[in-house]
Amino acid sequence: MEKKQMGITYVPELSASMSVSDMDASIDWYQKVLGFDLLFRDDDLGWCELSTGVPGVTVGLAQSENVTQGGGATNVWGVKDIVEAKAQLDAHRVKQDGDIQIVPDMVKLITFYDPDGNAMMFAQSLSEGG
pLDDT single digits (tens) 48-57: 999 999 999 9
Same domain for 83 and 57: no
Same domain for 79 and 129: yes
The domain boundary, picked from 40, 65, 90, lies at 65
Q: Which domain holds residue 9?
A: 1-65
- Radius of gyration, CA atoms only, the chain: 16
Same domain for 123 and 86: yes
Q: pTM here? A: 0.76
Same domain for 101 and 47: no
Same domain for 7 and 53: yes
**C-alpha dihedral sign at 57, 83, 101, 112:** negative
CATH number of the domain to which 107 belongs: 3.10.180.10
Predicted pLDDT at 127: 81
Q: Count of H helices and E strands in the chain?
A: 2, 10
Same domain for 125 and 83: yes
- Average pLDDT for residues 83-104, to the nearest whole number? 94
The domain boundary, picked from 10, 42, 65, lies at 65
By C-alpha distance, which of 55, 59, 52 is closest to 23?
59
Give 5-53 pLDDT, tens digit per residue. Answer: 566 677 788 889 899 999 999 999 999 999 999 999 999 989 999 999 9
Between CA 111 and CA 75 the distance in angstroms is 10
Q: What percent of the chain has pLDDT over 90?
A: 65
Q: Does an H or E element contain 57, and which? A: strand 57-63
Sheet holding 75-78, edge to edge: 75-78, 119-125, 107-113, 101-103
The domain boundary, picked from 15, 46, 65, lies at 65
Predicted pLDDT at 3: 62
Cα–Cα distances in Å, from 102 out to 28, 40, 73, 88, 109?
30, 36, 21, 19, 6
What's the structural domain count of the chain? 2
Same domain for 84 and 54: no
pLDDT over 90 at 85, yes or no: yes
